[in-house]
Amino acid sequence: MKIALIPGDGIGPEIIDAAVKVLNAVGRFEYETCCAGGAAIDRFGDPLPESELSRMKRCDAVLMGALGGPKWDSLPGNKRPEAGLLRLRKGLGVFANLRPVKIYEALKEASPLKTVDGVDFIIVRELIGGIYFGRRTEGDESACDTMEYSAQEVKRINEVACRLARARRKSVTSVDKANVLASSRLWRKQTEAFYAAHPDITLNHLYVDNAAMQLILNPKQFDVIVTENMFGDILSDEASVLTGSIGMLPSASVGHPGEIALYEPIHGSAPDIAGKGIANPIATILSAALMLRFSFEMEKEAAAVEAAVEAVLNKGVRTVDLGGGADALGTEAVTEAILKEIG
């Protein structure tokens, strides 16, 4: 099995290195190191050269660190690292972003909220449609971004949400803004039609503003949340606060079953701590575990990695972002602790 590695920018190379060590502890893989984001701008003048995308497509899965940083903020929008990320998602055809949100008992006190007991849900975000990919105009006096969805796009993202819900607690919450947006009214209509054919799944609807509030007031109510691109981007970052640190949350971006998928932590490149050896590698390591599960069907190995992470947290291993203070461990020490648990 061949994995395309995108170290990316900032702390990306450090956390990718940690994830590779963990992958090598549970299996045998080939690696192809590829370039995207700011690093690709510096090297090629393009945040995602077609040659790099072609190399990734010849692999079985893609594992990415983080892209972007203030160094490239002055570039035009279509030349920035984020533009490369959008093109990467579109180029790979990964239309569903999966972001599991689980509270570890050992980290419960790290959460700023008191409502996190028993929280275990997953956000399914439509990834290659909506306002980020719609028609746009841009000028000095006015600009326009268009949110557009087709019935087929809504159906295929709900197919992913339905499969996940059926393996969990069989509950889906669809998030939209159907009281205001035409695209959301289509979203709700097509979502209701889809689940009418899947009566074993309980479907609920929430407006996005209420969903944002409910994530704080009562996050335990959620099992699977499905929503469009921009709403999912915002809500999943909000949900990361529940865990105590954005450095804990992995993600998987998948397409149709059996096709190439992209795995990455949800956090950014943190250029302020790059090279200091203190970045939390856990989100990237857990992203690698999702890759083992979804792309390679290595459930035993994925579970072993996840159990090792939970074990080191239970033993008090903490990075700076988890409140480690003077006793905080660095990237390498946390990785070695996880490797020791894996055995």
Q: Tell me if 222 sits within 8 A of 202, measured CB to CB.
A: no
Count of beta carbons in the 10 Å neighbourhood of residue 289: 27
CA angle 31, 252, 270 (to 5 degrees): 80
Burial (CB < 10 A; 0-12, 13-18, 19+), residue 142, is exposed
Q: What is the DSSP code string of 204-241?
A: EEEEHHHHHHHHHH-GGG-SEEEE-HHHHHHHHHHHHG
**C-alpha dihedral over 211, 215, 220, 223, to 10 degrees?**
50
Q: What is the pTM of this model?
A: 0.92
Q: Tell me if 126 sits within 8 A of 96, measured CB to CB.
A: yes
Burial (CB < 10 A; 0-12, 13-18, 19+), residue 211, is buried
User: What's the pLDDT at 82?
Assistant: 92
pLDDT tens-digit profile of 110-139? 888 888 889 999 999 999 999 999 999 999
Return the structure tokens found at 26: 């549970």
List, by residue number, the catalytic residues: 132, 177, 209, 233, 237
CA distance 210 to 130: 20
Instruction: Walk me through the domains of the chain, giving residue ranges and CATH numbers.
Output: 1-100+246-343 (3.40.718.10), 112-243 (3.40.718.10)
* CA distance readout (Å), 125 to 142, 228, 255: 29, 6, 12
Q: Tell me if 165 sits within 8 A of 195, measured CB to CB.
A: no
pLDDT tens-digit profile of 195-206? 999 999 999 999
pLDDT tens-digit profile of 232-281? 999 998 998 898 888 899 999 999 989 999 999 999 999 999 999 999 99
Q: Give me the mean pLDDT over the 139-155 stretch.
A: 96
pLDDT of residue 14 exceeding 90: yes
